[in-house]
Amino acid sequence: MRRTERTEVSNFKEVKILKTKMLVLVSLAVFVLFIGIWYFGTYGVGSIKPKDVTVAGTVTTLGIHTTPEKITFTSLSNKVDYPSDCNVGNPSYYSISVPNGQSYNVTITWKYVGLTNGGTVDAGTLNLDETQSSITRNWAR
């Protein structure tokens, strides 16, 4: 074999080895990318927060012969009210969708069982900064 033929064969082998290494590296990169997409999609780490969050749960009034009628979430930043009627009973169930990333003052409107008079009571504050689109919160006052 002449010297130029040996150099061409040697270059051909080097190029083949280099292509094989590149194929392995690209395959590894694609595998890592798919694992990352699966992990972040499954566990929500670093996921985008939803614009609105559905808050659901129970409302319980602690007074004798009382029942909740409505629960209201009032945004502390813009004072917008988000009311939700409660079903009949004590505890009552509610479900409402409110904007994420805000804090809310929560009030419960109640009445005496069988009567129309009642009142409103402060139930506390809800700070929303969720990565989930729905959460459960129970309130008692």
Q: What is the pLDDT of residue 91?
A: 86
Q: Which tens digit of pLDDT belongs to each residue from 83-132?
A: 999 987 788 999 999 999 999 999 999 999 888 899 999 999 999 999 88
CATH number for the domain harbouring residue 128: 2.60.40
Say whether both 69 and 136 belong to one domain: yes
User: Domain span at residue 19?
Assistant: 1-47
Say whether both 41 and 57 belong to one domain: no
Q: 51 or 42: which carries more pLDDT confidence?
A: 51
pLDDT (average), residues 14-23: 84
pLDDT band at 23, cuts 50/70/90?
confident
Answer yes or no: is pLDDT of 74 > 90: yes
Say whether both 18 and 57 belong to one domain: no
Say whether both 66 and 125 belong to one domain: yes
Quote the number of domains for the chain: 2
Phi, psi dihedral angles at 137 (to 5 degrees): -140, 130
Say whether both 59 and 42 belong to one domain: no
HEC letters along 95-139:
EEEEECCCEEEEEEEEEECCCCCEEEEEEEEEECCCCCCEEECCE
What tokens were used for 21? 């290494």
Say whether both 43 and 5 belong to one domain: yes
Say whether both 24 and 41 belong to one domain: yes
Say whether both 75 and 130 belong to one domain: yes
Answer yes or no: is pLDDT of 44 > 90: no
In DSSP terms, 124 is beta-bridged to: 106
Say whether both 5 and 62 belong to one domain: no
Answer yes or no: is pLDDT of 9 > 90: no
Say whether both 23 and 82 belong to one domain: no
Say whether both 88 and 104 belong to one domain: yes
